[in-house]
Amino acid sequence: MTAPDFTHLHQRMLAEISAETIYSSAQLGKAALGRRVMDVMAKVPRHEFVRLELQPFAYDDTPLPIGFDKTISQPFIVAVMTDLLDLRPTDIVLEIGTGLGYQSAILAELAQRVYSIELIEDLAVQARRRLARQGYANIEIRIGNGCGGWPEHAPFDKVIVAAAPELIPAALLYQLKPGGKMVIPAGLPDAQQLMLVEKDVSGTLSTKEIFAVRFSLLEDAEAG
């Protein structure tokens, strides 16, 4: 497809995100996502982070397969999860589940540095290549199990998880900095909720359910 084709589809995606946000305003507590988040959703080319044969569908507001029974998340969900993090330019972020790097790119536009963990080596290799091609130099990807986080770089200002455990891993809670936020899907496979976890300056944790979601499972041997 040509660049103008993608431009039109990209604009349609942004309109669909805005409409879905209004529809979900009761759960989100607002009818519009932050301007910085929407500007980045407008900037990052999603078609560069999907398989070539699926590029014509890159700007549909839907998950798309990336191989290994994994998907790139629906743009609306990416935007909401990013918005909930309330990212600042100085933030150090931990991401669990790199996939092909689309969410990583969104985070990298808004934070100082992103540390991302991907279990599946082939996806991690592809993500590194795609992110380098887009010029991102503030993302480090590690191949491994995301349940244990990345202790060497902890604590993190923000944590975002792209797969769902039944219970939030204790290591991720521990590695969240006081004053920090985590966005994670959690719950039984048929009853997952997108969760906002906040740790206050004294280290006390609070959780809030946002709305029902369906993500791949985050298991002891899986974090993609």
Q: Supply the residues annotated as catalytic.
A: 73
Question: Please, what is the angle between helix 35-43 and helix 102-110, to 10°?
Answer: 130
Q: How far apart are CA 186 and CA 10, in angstroms?
A: 30
What pairs with residue 117 in β-bridges?
Answer: 96, 142
- As a whole number of Å, the end-to-end CA separation of the chain is 29
Whether 214 and 89 have beta carbons less than 8 Å apart is answered as no
114: left (phi over 0), alpha (psi -120 to 50) or beta: beta
Q: How far apart are CA 158 and CA 155, in angstroms?
A: 9
